[in-house]
Amino acid sequence: MDIHALQQIVHQTRDARRKQTIPKFSPADRDQLIHKYHPDYRASAYRPIRFGPNADDKTVVELAALLEGDSSIPEQIDLTPQYTTDVLVIGGGGAGCAAALHAHATGAKVILATKLRLGDSNSVMAQGGMQISVAPEDSPVTHFLDTLKGGHMQNDHDLLKVMVEEGPSIAKWLIELGVLFDRQADGNLHVKKGGGSSKPRLLTCSDYTGLEIMRVLKDEVLNQKIQLLEFCAAVELLSDDNGQCTGAIFKDLDNHRHVVVAAKSVILATGGIGRLHIQGFPTSNHYGATGDGLCLSYRMGAKLDHIDTFQYHPSGAVYPEQLIGALVTEGIRSEGGHLVNAKGERFVNELDTRDVVSSSIIRECEEGRGIRTMSGRIGVWLDTPLLDAEHGPGTVEKHFPAMMMQFERFGIDISKDPVLIYPTLHYQNGGVKIDANSETNVKNLFVAGEASGGLHGRNRLMGNSLLDLMVFGKRSGLTAASRAGSMPQGKLTLNHLQRFRADAKKHGNSSGVISPMILPAYTRREPERTATK
């Protein structure tokens, strides 16, 4: 059927739906729903990791293969460093920039290396906002409790307390650097309500929050003349005789040469794993989100936490084909957008946590109340025109300019027509286990941002990622920099890699893949050939 004909039911039922309130699930119903429909509970997608710090823990098969994967570095390689620094930051997104800036501000020598350009990251795409408890009726404790509830009570309390308490000072830092957060008429920060939060707490820059923050941070990294190694992908870490981290080996993606960097501390800010397309899901993640930091730190002996849980953002675009997996910001639901099935019914409280909303969308589709596309996708409607009906014409355009433009390019006006959505692989809830200074169990190896684990428990709350990046980027940068003065540069060895390879051999060798992946293999190697008769 024509898409407009199918959309009619959304228009027809809009007024009736506006009078409806959908209660949130009881804890028992919510657990049942998630266990039945959330991809984290699809047992066939998981297997135990065979060896290493998380031996026998289960994770998705795609990640297990990479963690058990072998390094591209031979054991005999010249480790004479081309660069020497106090702090080596790997990753150029939000956490990496924050770490580099804070470390640099203390006077430490900093190198920031990234496999793509400075700023290429998921951070730049964050649309929903940044949770910071600035409103008078809100508090860091309430932020703590909301996050804990969203994370199924599995969050690391120390990390979480640090994040919510440092939030406000992070907002101040960003404002001083020139970030333009949305304001109320009285000049105070405007706060929006996010899914799973009891109070409005999202600071926003229209629907360009991540982009605005990243434009400013990137510019500041350049202004501070922090040394950059762009298009340099980390392929192995370096350790001294005590197993402490002392640097990294990179592959320069322009000339394919190895670059050795000696560093007193290393901060991995390598982001998430969406481009592994776990369970075949499309992803909202950027090109380089291949979990490199997880593999690198795992080989060094760093323990991972909550590595079996991923966030499937409820609203990834399903139509048009070109936008598959692209995010339709949660902000639409924050402002009252309904989720509607093929029968024109709402089926979940749209502001419930992401895992609950995603599970309920999957349920609707599996039970035959989804809308199919000819390319074999399925989804439910997100009633975007409702926002204009509710808050006045022009609301969608004014509050979601990025979203409007993205769909307009394909001839779709989301202020007039609902969009078809289905969950998309969005975020790695867990990662490398860190302490409150963002350090791993490997001394002088720090991990900040999405690559780290523990803070978000088993489900990250909307808007907590941008804050995570800034807080733990800062703490890792400051801690790493503070050690530089009193610490000599350690020896550069590959002892950890020898240990890892020996361990692999004991367990029937590595998975046969080389990790980290660096970039997804989207390039088609050979065109299909039709056999001649």
Partner 1 sequence: MAQEDTNVIDQPEVLRHKMVTIEISGKKYEVPEGITVIKALWHTGQEVVRGAGCLGGFCGACATYYRTKDDPKVRTCLACQMAVEDGMSFTIMPPFPARKALYDIQSLKDPKQDLFNLYPEAPLCRNCNACTEACPQKIDVREGVWKAVFGDFKSVSEMFMDCVMCGMCTPVCIADIAPNLVALYVSRAQGAHFTEKPQGLDIRIKEIQDGRFNDEWSKVLAMNEQELADHCATVK
Residues known to be catalytic = 313, 333
Give SS3 for 427. strand
One character per residue 405-444, x = contact with partner 1 (rule: CB under 8 A):
xx--xx---------x------------------------
| The binder of partner 1 chosen from 60, 134, 307, 451 (CB under 8 A) | 134
Q: CA-CA distance, 38 to 290, in Å (whole number)?
A: 22
C-alpha to C-alpha distance for 162 and 455, rounded to whole angstroms: 10
CB of 509 to partner 1, least distance (A): 29
29 binds partner 1 (CB under 8 A): no
Are residues 323 and 426 in contact, defined by beta-carbon separation less than 8 angstroms?
A: no
CA distance 503 to 513: 16
Q: How many CB atoms lie within 10 A of CB 529?
A: 6
Residue 33 is a binding residue for partner 1 (CB under 8 A): no
Among 85, 114, 204, 284, binds partner 1 (CB under 8 A): 284
Dihedral sign from CA coordinates of 475, 305, 86, 118: negative
- Asked if 146 interacts with partner 1 (CB under 8 A), we say yes
- Residue 261, helix vs strand vs coil: strand
CB of 159 to partner 1, least distance (A): 13
Rg of the chain on CA atoms, in Å: 23
CB contact set of 294 (below 8 Å; sequence gap of 6+): 63, 66, 67, 270, 273, 304, 307, 431, 432, 451
Residue range at the interface with partner 1 (CB under 8 A); choices 133-141, 299-307, 332-340, 491-499: 133-141
Site string (356-395) toward partner 1, x via CB under 8 A: ------------x-xxxxxx--------------------
Measured CA to CA, the distance from residue 346 to residue 338 in angstroms comes to 7
Whole-angstrom distance, CA of residue 372 vs CA of residue 375: 8
From the list 31-39, 236-244, 317-325, 469-477, the region that binds partner 1 by CB under 8 A is 317-325
According to CB under 8 A, which one of 55, 77, 153, 487 is a site residue for partner 1? 153
Q: Is 319 in the site for partner 1 (CB under 8 A)?
A: yes
Residue 246 C-beta: closest distance to partner 1, Å: 28
Q: Residue 311 region, left (φ>0) first, then alpha (ψ -120 to 50), else beta?
A: beta
Residue whose CB is less far from partner 1, 49 or 518:
518
Site string for partner 1, 254-273 (x = CB under 8 A): x-------------------
DSSP 320: S
200 binds partner 1 (CB under 8 A): no
Point out which span in 45-53, 95-103, 173-181, 349-357 binds partner 1 (CB under 8 A): 173-181
Contacts of 409 (CB under 8 A, 6+ apart): none
| Contact yes or no for 382/328 (Cβ under 8 A) | yes
Contact pick of 60, 88, 179, 202 for partner 1 (by CB under 8 A): 179
Binds partner 1 (CB under 8 A): choice among 40, 86, 120, 292: 120
The residue (of 266 and 371) whose beta carbon lies closer to partner 1 is 371
Query: Do 42 and 279 contact (CB within 8 A), yes or no?
Result: yes
Among 22, 61, 79, 402, binds partner 1 (CB under 8 A): 402
Residue 37 phi, psi dihedral angles, 5° rounding: -120, -20
Size of the site for partner 1 (CB under 8 A): 91
Site residues for partner 1, window 212-241 (CB under 8 A)? 212, 215-216, 219-220, 222-223, 225, 231
172 interacts with partner 1 by CB under 8 A: yes
Q: What is the DSSP letter of 321?
A: G
Q: Is 136 in the site for partner 1 (CB under 8 A)?
A: yes
Q: Binding segment for partner 1 among 10-18, 328-336, 404-412, 477-485 (CB under 8 A)?
A: 404-412
Which residue's structure tokens are 């770490």? 99
